Every structure is written in C-alpha cells, then in structure tokens.
Structure 1
Amino acid sequence: MIRLKITAIPRRLLCVAFAAFAAWAVAQQQEQALRSPEDVNGFVQSAMVDVGIPGAAMTMIEGGQINLARGFGRLDDTGNAVSAQAPFQIASVSKSFTALVVLQLADEARLAIDDLVVEYLPDFRMADSAHAGAVTIRQLLNHTSGFATLDGNRLHGIGSDDPGASEKAVRQLGDSRPIAAPGERFQYSNANYIVLGHLIETIEQKPYEQVLDERIFSRLGMANSYAFKPLKQTAEAAKGHEQWFGIARQNHRTPGRATLAAGGISASAEDLGKYLRALTRADPRIVPPILARSFADAEFTGYAFGWHHAMVDGRRVIYHDGLSPGFRALAAILPDERRAAAFVMNLSGILGGNLHIGAVHHALGLHPVPIRPSGGIITAIWGSLATTLCFALGCFAALRKAFTLRHTPWNTAEAFRWILVVVPSAVFAGGAYALLVLVPRSLALDFAGTGVFYPDLAAVLLATAAIGVVWAVVLPILLVKRPKAAA
C-alpha cells in the first residue's frame, strides 16, 4: 500500500500568507469604508432621479473633519436650488438636541437625570397617577417611561403658535395609559420628549427655541438652524413635499410648538456637519461627560440619551432617523472611527423609498440598502385603491338592485329578512370603524395623524369607509321598506 507523505506548510510561509491576506482584507475594508465626496455626490444624484426626490442635502465627517456639505435638487416648486446652507426639517433627529440640553442641565447640577419628573413638573400626570409619580427623567430620555407610541403621535400639533403649547400638550397626555411599569420596557414615543421640552422650558424659564439657540446653535456657529421659527435671518428653507400615490406635492406645514422637542428643529447640511463634528470630538462646548461616556460604551446596544446604539456590519453605529410631513432625515455616527454622515430630503410618503438610509449607508461604507419602495408597499397602496374602486362598484350595484326591488315583496321568512338587513349593516359599519380607527392604530397613529403623515392613504381609508357607511345605512333602509310577501 502506497502512503502519501504530506508535509506541513512551513510556519514562516504560513505567517507570510496570513499577513498578506490580512493586509488585503484591511485594504478591502478601507476601500469600502472610505467614500470620496465625488462618489457620494454621484450616488445621491442618480438615486434622487431614480426615486423622484425633489431636494436633499448631505454632510459627511471623516477623522473629525467635515469633508462634504452640499445640497441637491430643488427647494420648492419654483425650482430654487438647494444649497448647503438651506434649512430642512430634521424631524425626530431633534430628539438628540433635546437630550443634549437635558444632559447639559444635569452637568450644571440644575437637575439629576434619575430625579422624578414630578419634582420639576408637579402637574405631570398619566391615567395611573402612581405610575406618573414614579417616572424619572432618564426614563423619558430613554423611552422607558411607559408612554405608548400612539400617545405621542396623537399630539402632532401642526401649526400651533401658542406659547403655552408644550404645557397644554403635557396636560393632554394626562389620560395616557402606561404600557409597562417605569423603566421596565422600551417603547419609542414622542410623548417622552414632549414632556422633556416642557421640563426644559420650566427650568430655563425661556422658550425651547431660545434655549436651543443659546446652548447649541450659537456655540457651534449653526447660523441656519432653528426650532419652530428662525430667531434671526437664515437661508431660504426647503419646502416639504408629500406623496400622493407616487406624485410629489408641495405642502406648507410647519411644526407646532407642542412637539418642538420631539421633532421640530430645522437645520442645514452645513450645520448638521458642525453638530456631528462636535459629537465625534466630544466638543466640551456642548458635549457633557455623561454623553461622551455613553458614546464610548462599546458594549451597549439600545436607546440612550436621544440616540439608537447598534452594531451594523460589525461596526458600532449611533444614529437617529426622522419623519415629519414632507421630510425624512437620518444622522449616523461611527464613534470608533470618528466618522459620521447625515442626509435630509424634502419628501415623505409611503412610496418615498429609503434614500435617506441608502445615502448614509453608502457614505459610511455600510451594506447597501434598497432605496426604492418595496414591491409589497407598492402593491399595498395600489391594491388599496383597487379595493376602494371595487367596493364602490359593489355598493352601487347593491343599492341599485335594492332600489329596483323596493316595491317587490319579500319571498323569505321574517327572521331571515332581518338577517339580510342587520348583518350587512353591521359588517359595513364595522369595516368603516376598522378603516378609520384600527388601520391607523396599526401605524401607531390616529386618523388625523394618518392624514398628516400619509395623506394618500388617509384619503383611501376615508373614501372606503364613507362607502361602507353609505352601504350600512342606505341599504337596510331600502330593504326594510320592501313589502312583505302576501299571506
């Protein structure tokens, strides 16, 4: 029997091969991670045309320095070009600013984040008064207070210019039913940051927008950033666009004062670059030690102090996204690499796609994500339109037949006749309730909120529900009026 002698690869050769492979892997990772401004510009411009985004702006940080800040497309329907100085609504990315101010106040010993909220806001209430009395500031910051997502989304506060709006909003939250004990469960809710906004105004004795300007915008030279309305002259702001079945329509919505702290800040790409640069450097002008420690914690994943912490492609990513009527935004930081990127666009809607995510992933060398809306979403929106049309045709045909037969005697037993009257009425009334209440609730919204964020979907729901109500009311009337069969 012949035996083959297998000789081991010399250790030195193995080490050389391993080192070469490691060098190649590092080079590949760097090539993926390092995106030039020209590359990012080309990606965004091509994707905007593909998805149909009116306007956008982006900033990138490399090595703690801004290496890209520019605008793309148009500000509004007049065709004015987007500049790096043009403010965009950044929606829920605003929460990071609110949390930053709260942590600054804690650093100044004007509050402690583990203090009870009622120590500063004695009128803070929830449906369970004992629960409200046990909620801490940290739990508001980290969305573990027990507020439900729906609680925050029913107070969208569009257009309210009332100086006492935040206090009134907190009072309106008094009927909120806790979903869990304080600190027990995470559920993202604008309600937490609405309360924090009122807390800031109470401690500072100043409007929220003035506090933000003094504590963050002015310190960093963010000349084209503001909350609610500009306190000084700024560049022309981008106008939001909402999608109506895939067609972008300009809107004129402005954030209400009640929800400023949860999602009411506007900022330019240039200013977002200054903000992210300060965060990546732990700039002592605005970043207190507690936030710097949170960013440095390599083990933590979850939500803390206005930011999501996650592992993406084996890299630590700290991020926050945002959605407001007419705008989408995403800011992300790679704390271990001192890199960051932010993208804002003036389009929202079910068919708006995910360019804000795709652009940031591309800039930071993360895995690619689909930027176009999924086939399921497209099918759902057009399917809902088809359903409404079929429902309308069915209703028309049934009512027409019932009207035609209104003088024709019944040929059925009395009990069955009432079944034919009551059951369809109950089904269609229940369907209308589901469309106007349950479907919006599945999106963590009420119907009014659905109209604000997804107007095309709200129009379909309302039209279909209205047809259901007509069917539920008129059809039984016509059936009841039909004469009984002769004895």
Structure 2
Amino acid sequence: MRQRIRRTALALSAALVVGAGVLAAPAASAADRPESVRQGLDALVRADGVPAVLATVRDRDGRVRHFTAGVGDLATGAKAPVDGQVRIGSNTKTFTAVVVLQLVGEGKVDLDAPVDTYLPGLVRGEGIDGRSITVRQLLQHTSGLADYEGALDEASLRERYFEPRELLDLALGQKPVSAPGEKFGYSSTNYVLAGLIVQKVTGRPIGEEIDRRVVRRIGLRHTYFPTAGDRTIREPHPHGYRRGTADEPLQDFTEMDPSAGWAAGQMISTGSDLNRFYSALLAGRLLPPAQLAQMRTTVPVGDTGMGAGLGIFSRPLSCGGVYWGHGGDIPGYETRGGATDDGRAVTVAVTTVPADPAVTRHVEDVVDTALCR
C-alpha cells in the first residue's frame, strides 16, 4: 500500500531515453530476466511518462543487478544515479512496526492492549475512543481511524513542518470509517499513533529508535530518518517531480519537509538497502520468531488477493507464491517491491507519484517480472 498524499498528475514526453542495466554481480541464471526488466523500465519512461526509474534486483543466490532508466534531473539532463537515494514514503511503516514488535518481544508493549494503555486520553473524537482500539489494530490498519492525509494540502508540504500531534488532530476531527476491528482500512494515522507509543515507552524519538534497533543492526548504510528541518536528500539521488494538475508543468519537489509522513512515511533509503531490510526481516534477523509470525498473520485487503500483516503486506506472484513488502508514495517518489522467503528481493522506484493507477500497476508488474522471470 502507499502513503496516500494526494496523487500527482503526470505527462512527460516520450523522448526520454532509457539507461542500460548496470551489473553489480554475475548475471542471474534466468538469462531473459534482465532484458525483461529493462523492457518494463523502458515502457514506464516512454509509454507512461515517468521521469526516471531505478530498480535493484537480488536473486535467490545473492547476485544483484541495478537498472536505471530515464532522466534523473530534467533541468540538466543528467542520468539517474545507480542505486540512488529516494524518499521511501510508507515503507517507513514497516520500520516502525518492527520497532513496536521488538518492544512486544521485550514485554514492554502488549499487542492486544488498548491504545489508552500507552497514550491515556489522547485518542478521542466523535465515535473515537482509544480505550477500544488496540495496538494490533493500529499496525494492521483495522482501527477504523480516518487517514489524516486526506486533509493535507500537498502543495504546501515543501515548506510546512508538522508536529505529530497536528497530524493526529487532523484525523480525530473526522468520523471513523469503521468500528475497531471490523475491517481493513488503510490509514497513516495508525502509524502516527504507533510512533507516539514507541516514544512514550522508550523515552526516545522514533527516528533514533529506528536507527538504533533496525538501521545500524543490519548495516543499512544509506537509510535514515531525516531530522526536523532537514529537507534535503544527503547522497546521490534522482530528482523527484510533481504537478498539481494535468495542465501544469512538472515541478521539482526533491527538497521538501517530510514531517507530514513522520513514523508513517518520512524515511530515505536506496533499493539495495530496502532489499536488505526486507530480506533480513523475513530471515528473522530483526524479530523473535513469535513476533515475526504475528507480523505475517494477515487479514484480506478487499478482493485484491493481498494480505495485510502488521506493517507488511503479502502480494501474490504470477509464478506462484507471494512476496512480502510495503511500498510508498510521497510527493516526488513512488516505490514498490519486497522480498520472498527464498531470498529474492526487488525494489523499483519512479520519480513522481503517477496520477493514473494503471502506471502504478505497471511498476508492480516490473516487480513481478524481476521476481518471477
């Protein structure tokens, strides 16, 4: 699922060129896979009009291949950097969920305890009561809480700084979309509350806990939670773009204040680091077996065939089986991908949030191709 800040419109010239794949290790055993991935990236640029695409593919033997396509900077015509950093949006939710589940394993948080146990009196509104919403329901998007992102003005996010409590207030001013536990309903509000629970229990900022408990633990060298006021992307990166309407020109949205995402969508990473993260998570390097099993226990996501776990989703593969991941949208960048239990992993990032859902499906098709072919 994505971070649901209002989707941007998109229409680039088909004249953008497609870069060649960059081999980072010996070629994968399926000889047609690199060419199939390149064709998918080519189509995203030439037919779907995204400015640039970055992909990182790891096969079950640990061999890695990087791909780029399109233009990384429309002002200069520079190519997208191989394995460049991007804003990863709602992939941040999985990092936050891991920290919460680590605290569960340490006996500091109870998944089936009410939110009020940790944030007494905070979650109140018309039809809303934190005494009837559990931590598990937050992580699985079954709390019924409305998504605060629908109340945000996307164009203002470049400059605007939000405190987490401001984001929560935007949601609590809306009626719930369902009763707690009734059904799946994606809402970033759940992860603002999860981040606040982490801070209350640990006494430390959520970004610091993610860094200590996840990023440094598995050696993610290019992943971080931007500090307050940091609107930049630190390492080589493609520029991210948005346009408010179909008639407006693309606007460079690379530098922005990501605080509207916070524990639900603020982080920055690379394809290689995201592949390492999801692979390490599935391999049991971040959670005890009991908590990993809880994370992977899913509820249906409508009739999509997807399952929602605790901060992670299972998606069916065309070749059989599933892969586990999240994905994320934030103005300027969309990411899709995940990992399988046998060691395959893929991350694909495009440098705008497509207005047309069909384009996002094409991004997901590239993920499927890379994992299956």
Change (3 A) 1:94 1:48: same
Deviation at 1:192, TM superposition (A): 0.8
Q: Which residue of 2 aligns with 1:287?
A: 287
* Aligned equivalents of 2:49, 2:83: Cα separation in 1: 22
**Partner amino acid for 1:189?**
S
Match of 2:308 in 1: 303
Post-superposition offset of 1:94:
1.7
1-side partners of 2:351 and 2:108: how far apart?
A: 38
Structure whose alpha-carbon radius of gyration is higher: 1
Separation of aligned partners in 1, 2:231 and 2:207: 8
Q: SS in structure 1 opposite 2:185?
A: coil
The residue type equivalent to 2:115 in the other structure is: V
Q: Deviations over 1:182-213 (max 9, x none)?
A: 11121111111111122222222222222222
How many angstroms apart in 1 are the aligned matches of 2:51 and 2:212? Answer: 32
Q: How much has 1:111 moved relative to structure 2?
A: 0.9
**Matched residue, 1:180:** 178
Q: 39, 62, 69: which is aligned to 2:59?
A: 62
Match of 1:330 among 300, 318, 336: 336
Shift of the alpha carbon at 1:43? 3.8
Q: Structure 1 residues 308 and 363, CA, compared in 2 at 3 Å: closer, same or farther?
A: same
The answer (yes or no) to whether the contact 2:298–2:309 under 8 Å persists in 1 is no
Change in 2 beyond 3 A, CA 1:180/1:72: same
Q: Which residue of 1 aligns with 2:119?
A: 121
Q: 1:208 aligns with which of 192, 206, 209?
A: 206
Distance in 2 (CA, whole Å) between partners of 1:363 and 1:113 is 35
Q: Is the 8 A contact 2:96 2:195 kept in 1?
A: yes
Deviation at 1:141, TM superposition (A): 0.3
Q: Please state if 1:95 is matched with 2:97.
A: no
Q: Is 1:357 paired with 2:356?
A: no
CA distance in 2, matches of 1:348, 1:87: 16
SS of structure 2 residue aligned to 1:58: strand
Aligned to 2:24: none
Q: How many residues align?
A: 331
1:245 matched residue in structure 2? 246
In the TM superposition, residue 253 of structure 1 has moved relative to its aligned partner by 5.0
Cα offset for 1:161? 7.1
Root mean square deviation of aligned Cα: 3.3
> Which is bigger in relative contact order (C-alpha 8 A, separation at least 6)?
2
Cα separation, partners in 2 of 1:81 and 1:206, compared to 1, 3 Å: farther
Paired letter, 1:265: M
Q: Which runs of 5+ in 2 are unaligned?
A: 1-27, 301-305
Distance 1:269 1:237 in 2: 11
Whether contact under 8 Å (1:59, 1:270) holds in the other structure is yes
Q: CA deviation at 1:134?
A: 1.1
- Equivalent position SS for 2:123: coil
Relative to the length of structure 2, the TM-score reads 0.77
TM superposition shift of 1:56: 2.3
TM-score, length of structure 1 as denominator length: 0.60
The CA distance in 2 between the partners of 1:231 and 1:216, in whole Å, is 23
Contact 2:333 2:349 in 1 (8 A): yes
Instruction: Work out whether residues 225 and 266 of structure 2, in 8 Å CA contact, stay in contact via their aligned partners in 1.
Output: yes
2:273 equivalent in structure 1:
271
Partner letter of residue 326 of structure 2? H
